[in-house]
Structure 1
Amino acid sequence: MGDTMTPTTPTTSATSATPALRVGVVGAGNISGQYFEAVPRLPNLRITAVADLDADRAAAAASRIPGARAAKPNELYTAEDVDLVLNLTIPAAHAEVAHAAIAGGKHVYGEKPLAATTAEARSVLEAAERAGVRVGCAPDTVLGTGIQTARAVLDAGDVGVPVAATAFMVTPGHERWHPAPEFYYRPGGGPLLDMGPYYLTALVTLLGPVKRVVGMSSTPRPTRVIGSGPRAGTEFAVEVETHVTGVLEHEDGALSTLLMSFDVWAGQLPRIEVYGSGGSLEVPDPNGFDGEVRIFRAEAKEWEQVPERGGYRDASRGYGVSDLARALGEGVPHRANGQLAYHVLDVMESLLAAAKSGDSVRIGSTCERPAAVPAGARPEDQEQEKEL
């Protein structure tokens, strides 16, 4: 990706002498609240504009952020006071919004997935490379102390050579609590595309990119019933696989077993575990930024908690954007980047294709394993890579 473009005349944050990347937010829906809470406390970011198809919702959000204004989406893409567009729209609109922002000369950071399909995602990355701007993408949960401490254990060889891993996300389905859950069960939805980015981004961060997958899937229930809200009791059709399982072969040889399901009422399966030649590693929930990491060493023969050894402390959504701003200043790759997000999307598409065909599928993409986050680092700190 081209990294030659720098923010246009960035301002200085009131809390730091570091030039602040000016952020325009598109999409003021449910997830935006977490970003609106975190971004204002990150010294190298400043929200300057908020846009939404619902003008009243954009105005209400902007009114709660000092120095921000409400804007129309098309205006925001070319605004002089915006360096990066934070894309918090629905997945089906991710590529369209990214292209509009790139055409306006803006860097882009979006919620997962990067786009609805790998074809759309590839077009976004190609457009950004031509324009010389950066693309970032959630999840940035892997930058917190949980996954980064687990990575530090693996990088130090404390469990030997990684041999295998397991990653499980099981739930009976989102219709029990979501008042309008149909989109989870339509094309682009399902447990893999909904929650898979957290687990697969963590596995790639820990074990490196994936080169081949095999899988199986099923749809045990053809309909679901909304369990809460004004439409409770309404039945709707299920159009996607709701139970997906597979094996991922990483480029370095480790094999990860993945299970993503909307059909399990209860389970005691570990979220992620990594098994090495000299021990095992228990990894916290990749949908969060922190959590307990435990290690079982062959010589110790018991589980022990691992002290914090890496990651952004007290992180939350938006830290990936701040890390991108830091990397821009240094001229180095940012961690929650488009190539990683594209590879994760490619793995998910390939796993579903393998489940349909019954054959193994080779992954057409790869990516660099992002740089580790040093212990005690802040996303705005400069020259982090030199500390490794």
Structure 2
Amino acid sequence: MLFSSLIKTAAVAASLIGSVTALPAHQHNQHKRGVVVVTETEVVYVTAGAPQEVSGESTTVLLESVVSNAAATTATESAYTLQAPVADASTHTTASTVATSSTSQATASSTGDGSLPDDDSSSFAAGAKGITYSPYTSSGACKSLSEVKSDLAELSSYSLIRLYGVDCNQVENVLQAKASGQKLFLGIYFMDQIEAGISQMASAISSYGSWDDVYTVSIGNELVNGGSATVSQVASYVSTGRSALTAAGYTGPVVSVDTHVATINNPGLCDISDYIAINAHAYFDYNTVAADSGEWLLLQIQRVWSACGGNKNVLVTETGWPHKGDTYGKAIASPEAQKSAISSIKASCGSSAILFTAFDDLWKADGAQNCEKYWGIY
């Protein structure tokens, strides 16, 4: 089938997303990316600065060949078509052989059936499933309720709004500011404050909405990829979070978000979440132009789906393109490139993607490619 054949026949350039030091008060989405080249049986870590090669061949050529074939047959696939069972047992075995980094077995497993929760996305016209939002001013201060309401008025066409934490009263404020029918993808960011964060989250829900307003709750963001936790530690964090959420009356999906590369290299992550939630950005692939972002992203969805045994849906919880920053291989950071990338993502797999991000994060550090502040779409 398509998912296994793509992995068996191609070397794929993929981004490795981690954490970069920035404002310590809130490090949500502080990214430092490198490049990883993945083949069927090996993972080769490389540094940026020149087109990468695998077995003497440019990954750009290989990626373009695979994307061309994939786009011809799957450009209109949604997350729901990725639920198909694996054709044979070799699919999972083959995908798992790319995991050359050590993995720990999860100590807790998901409780769902791997499907995405229902939402009323058909009544929203954004072209993507959702968008991420951070409640900070350019100086890093907390935005007021009136400022959050003004921001959310520009995001009313998205069915989902993703938040990363509970600081700055962001859950309380977004619940009051969101459009009718919108749902929230909530998050606990600090792993030493899981139960306290969920208590604050539950209080906000009690005061300004209901658990029906919540699409998913994530426990942690890119913990394995950033080197701050092992798979078994993530499993423990999610177990703690799930127990606290259940006690608070929440019965929806619980996930831990990591990068597509970390998930493929650590398939134990697949067992922890109720469905698979990944962050993936084509800009950091080095060999992908903005106009090919959607096809590249669809390929990453397929690779993760296969690596996880084809048993759970995959939702991309961050993907986007900067409008300012350094040129990184074929990736040019410009307003025109950002528009091209977002259009491509929406056309290829918008129903499976949460865009990154609503507004520029001027409170962040510049980052390795001088682009971390400039991913805002509005």
TM exceeds 0.5?
no
Structure whose alpha-carbon radius of gyration is higher: 1
Task: Name the one with the larger helix percent.
Answer: 2
Greater length-normalized contact order (CA 8 Å, ≥ 6 residues apart): 2
TM-score, length basis structure 2: 0.28
TM-score, length basis structure 1: 0.28
Task: Name the one with the larger strand percent.
Answer: 1
